[in-house]
Chain A
Amino acid sequence: MGQFHISPPATIFVTVGSDIPFDRLIKAVDRWAHDKHRHDIFAQIGTGGWKPQFVSFATLLDPPEFNERLAASQVVVGHAGMGTILSALQNSKPILVMPRRGYLGETRNDHQMATARCLLEGGKVHVAFDEDELYRRLDLLQELEPKDRITPFAAPELVRALHDFIHHPAAHEL
């Protein structure tokens, strides 16, 4: 018989995506959890990532468990990857992101900075641009309102364009 350890769902769900670790973010969250005596945080830290001391974590969750934990949380903290952002928005969770930086080797280029800036402008996400700002903003997490709930599917115009292309090939022959 296996034993099951069922812990209460974490209030704060932290994820750095499924690709590579993002130690700078996890370290800031861990330091905050320690300083503020928070025990209601769960993090997906990525394979080979720095292991936090004060935060429960998994290296890589299976997608169904990822979805369950995210759905059970109240707020998401993560890198500025689209998987993380879309998962939070689809679940109507407020999300605070910190972009990975190219010059620190956290991504190949600075595309997460552009994502963060554009989505901040569009009112979709909250952004901390570095770990100090992240630490400060973690104190204000409970005040974050869920951003606009997004529909389950892409913009109707995009769906229609794709649908038309699939079903009416001639329309796109030039």
Chain B
Amino acid sequence: MTDPLKVLAISSGGGHWIQLLRLRPAFEGCSVTYATVRKGYRADIGDADFRVIRDANRWHKFNLLRSALGIFWLLVRIRPDVVITTGAAPGYFALRFGKWLGARVVWVDSVANAQELSLSGRKAGAIADLWLTQWPHLAAAQGPLFFGSVL
């Protein structure tokens, strides 16, 4: 019997987090760590492993750096097989670092981006092993792909 796959499901708060929660059945049979930016979200995931990371956006460089370092450290400790994120900046960092550490990484662009992919989402396209949009009209043959939305 092999150990279950380790999945890190990570996002910033608000809509990103709620969308990540709606993907939970996909993690069935895996050992999942959830990471997000507010400790109040712990109640959403029951007994699963839960970590709090610093939030950041690209307008605050210092916070961005601190957030990135914290996420790097989290990746090093968990060593997930798969990293999956619904954004935003913290999720992008997790994909970058996850990739360096040999994980397979998934970007699910937020359903909020109905007109164009988010900036992080576009950048994630270069590194994601699975790169998804939630709007069929944004899908393209070379990615992002569309399979459905969280709605």
Q: B139 contacts the other chain (Cβ, under 8 Å)?
A: no
Digit string of A16-41 for contact with B (CB within 8 Å is 1, else 0)? 01110000000000000000000000
Whether a CB of chain B sits under 8 angstroms from the CB of A58 is no
Q: Which of A81-120 contact B (CB under 8 A)?
A: 81-87, 89-90, 110-112, 114-115, 117-118
A117–B7 Cα distance when bound, in Å, is 34
Check A155–B14 contact: CB distance below 8 A: no
Whole-angstrom CA separation of A18 from B104 in the bound complex = 31
The answer to whether A114 and B14 have CB atoms under 8 Å apart is no
- Given A155-B149, A162-B106, A165-B104: A83 and B15 interface contact (C-beta under 8 Å): yes
A63 touches B19 (CB 8 A): no
Instruction: Name 29 A/B residue pairs within 8 A (Cβ), A-sorted.
Output: A17-B15, A18-B14, A63-B43, A82-B18, A82-B112, A83-B13, A83-B17, A86-B15, A87-B18, A111-B113, A114-B114, A117-B114, A118-B114, A124-B151, A150-B151, A154-B148, A154-B151, A155-B147, A155-B149, A155-B150, A158-B26, A158-B150, A159-B26, A160-B26, A160-B147, A162-B106, A163-B28, A165-B104, A165-B106
Does B30 lie within 8 Å of A166, measured CB to CB?
A: yes
B148, A155: Cβ atoms under 8 Å? yes
Residues of B within 8 A of A157 (CB): 147-148
| Residues in chain B near residue A17, CB distance under 8 A | 14-15
A152 x B22 contact (CB < 8 A) = yes
Nearest CB on B from A61, distance (A): 9
Chain A contacts for B149, CB-based, 8 A: 154-155, 158
Main secondary structure of the interface of A (DSSP, over half): helix
The size of the chain A interface, using a CB distance under 8 A, is 42
- Judge whether B148 and A82 touch: CB under 8 Å: no
Give the docked Cα–Cα distance between A48 and B100 (Å). Answer: 39
Q: Are A159 and B25 in contact (CB under 8 A)?
A: yes
Residues of A within 8 A of B150 (CB): 86, 154-155, 158
A100 CB to closest chain B CB, in angstroms? Answer: 11
Question: Nearest A residue to B14 by beta-carbon distance?
Answer: A83
A19 proximity list for chain B (CB < 8 A): 13-14
What are the residues of chain B within 8 A of A167 when measuring CB–CB?
A: 5, 29
When the two chains form their complex, are residues B147 and A161 in contact, meaning their CB atoms are under 8 A apart? yes
Q: Return the 4 tightest CB-CB contacts between A and B, nearest first.
A: A155-B148, A82-B15, A158-B148, A83-B14
Task: Encode A143-174 as 1/0 by CB contact (under 8 A) with B.
Answer: 00000001011111111111101110100100
CB neighbours (8 Å) of A158 from chain B are 23, 26, 108, 132, 134, 147-150
Residues of A within 8 A of B44 (CB): 63
B41 within 8 A of A: yes
Q: Is B51 an interface residue (CB 8 A)?
A: no
Across the interface, name the chain B residue whose C-beta is closest to A110.
B115
**Closest Cβ of chain B: how far from A60's Cβ, in Å?**
9
* Nearest A residue to B145, CB-CB: A161
* Shortest beta-carbon distance from A80 to chain B in Å: 8
